[in-house]
Amino acid sequence: MAASSGNARLLALTLVLVLAALHGVVCDSNHTHFAMVSRNAPSWRPDRGGHGKGSAPAPSPSLDTCGCEPTPAPKDFLNEKLRTLYPVIQAFKTTITSDPRGVTASWVGPNLCDSYFGGNMYKGFYCDHPPVKGAPQDDTTLTIASIDFNGYGLGAPSLAGFIDAFPDLALFHANSNNFSGDVPDLTGLPYFYELDLSNNNFSGVFPANVVPLGGLLFLDLRFNRFVGTVPPPVFDLSVVALFLNNNGFYGRIPDNFGSTTAEYLVVANNQFTGPIPRSIYNTSANLSEVLFLNNHLSGCLPYEIGLVEGLTVFDAGGNDITGPIPLSLGCLGLVEELNLAGNQLYGHIPDVLCMLAKTGKLQNLSLSDNYFHSVGHHCLELVRSKVLDVRLNCILNFPNQRPALECARFYADPPQHCPFVPHIPCDLPGFRPPAAAAAALPSAVAAEGGGGGGGGN
């Protein structure tokens, strides 16, 4: 009886293995390699406010999870565009190495635009109507316009042959996944304008395929393992937001930094060296928030920072920047947060900067861990109200300062002698810019018979 039972189990196991092998053959016969599709449609951008008419709920647990299925008949697809994209998605699905949320279980069947109609198939894929030549929009042909894998935790060795195979794709978001390999060449996608590859496993030098994307508005490469220098053309991209932080980029920030059109620019937590480029003044029309913190930047704090009138956040903490604070920073009337802590700045903390808490929007000013020796009257008020942090400096009779001997050694041999520019390039209450004083001089001379005119800074 025991032998008979063992033979039965062996026969059953053999049958299972045979069926599994046959199933694998059937599945393999239905897979195709990554397909490239036509890219001759006119340029367009879907509404940046959303992704179609519905979100994609969690896939049904009853969906087939073998990773393959019989190819639907052509008539089952909504249109030819979607029929062409079906094998692209299925081929990419076979390369997925991790899928903790079971996302790919919804990638079955011909309904690639199911989420557009409120369905739960093809999670992460979103459709829209593209325009056609001579008309603003084609209301009959849906196509995949965006892919959003944010937070899915998907793993795959490469994205090449996948996102570059969607001719109407406008954006690809893949924050918090485990993608790696080379960044695909997306120059053949005429509508593409947003790329988010943040928090993945990409490595190597700055992805060269990104540089030619002239229509890019949003580029996020943060929290990867990129290394090397950043090519100057990156700052010529027409982006609104540029995030390069938390990688291993090193070398000088290119001198054409000021060419950027970005409103939000972050290069923090890398290994950049050299000074903050003085070309930053060219960003005055657009730059709102810029973060340089936690690099190895050095040199004098540029006077030109004060010319970027639209700045709301400036953070260069945790570097080796030196010199006095330029009076031009008093012109940053919109700045809310200003962090220069953890550098080698020295001299007097000027009142024109601290007055921004009264005349401007300044809410947080950190100058701790530097070598300042004194503060102005308005700055003293900010210290008392805890708006200004001046710990670990060299301010006499202030608590939590550096040892006197350390301060003496620093001032005996500062890392760099930086020029102090007394000019203030804007009209501040209580201060008269030299240009205004010079303009008033002729009339003053004529009225007073040779008397002097001018204004102090």
Domain count, the chain: 2
pLDDT digits (tens, 9 = 90+) for 144-199: 999 999 999 999 999 999 999 999 999 999 999 999 999 999 999 999 999 999 99
Q: Which of 178, 201, 224 is the last residue of a domain?
A: 201
Q: What are the angstrom distances between the C-alpha of 331 and each of 177, 261, 305, 394, 432? A: 42, 21, 9, 26, 13
Q: Provide the pLDDT for residue 373.
A: 97
Q: Provide the pLDDT for residue 3.
A: 44
Q: Is 177 exposed, middle or buried (0-12, 13-18, 19+ CB in 10 A)?
A: buried
Evaluate whether residue 58 is within a structural domain.
yes
Evaluate whether residue 117 is within a structural domain.
yes
Q: Provide the pLDDT for residue 130.
A: 79
Evaluate whether residue 15 is within a structural domain.
no
Q: Provide the pLDDT for residue 428.
A: 77
Q: Provide the pLDDT for residue 70.
A: 78
Evaluate whether residue 52 is within a structural domain.
yes
Per DSSP, the residues of 211-261 read TT-TT--EEE--SSEEEEPPPGGGGGS--SEEE--SSEEEEEPPGGGGG--
Q: Provide the pLDDT for residue 364.
A: 95
Q: Provide the pLDDT for residue 215.
A: 92
With CA atoms as reference, report the closest residue to 107 among 54, 144, 157, 141. Answer: 144
Q: Provide the pLDDT for residue 301.
A: 97
Q: Which of 141, 173, 201 is the last residue of a domain?
A: 201
Q: Provide the pLDDT for residue 423.
A: 87
Evaluate whether residue 97 is within a structural domain.
yes
Provide the 10 A C-beta neighbour count for residue 32: 12
98 is in which domain, residue-wise? 27-201
Q: Provide the pLDDT for residue 435.
A: 45
What CATH number did the domain enclosing 179 receive?
Answer: 3.80.10
Is residue 341 within 8 Å of 367, Cβ to Cβ? yes
- pLDDT < 50 stretches in the chain: 1-67, 433-457
Evaluate whether residue 36 is within a structural domain.
yes
The first and second tokens of residue 59, run together, are 């896939």
Q: Which of 186, 201, 216 is the last residue of a domain?
A: 201
Evaluate whether residue 329 is within a structural domain.
no
Evaluate whether residue 387 is within a structural domain.
no
Is residue 277 within 8 Å of 254, Cβ to Cβ? yes
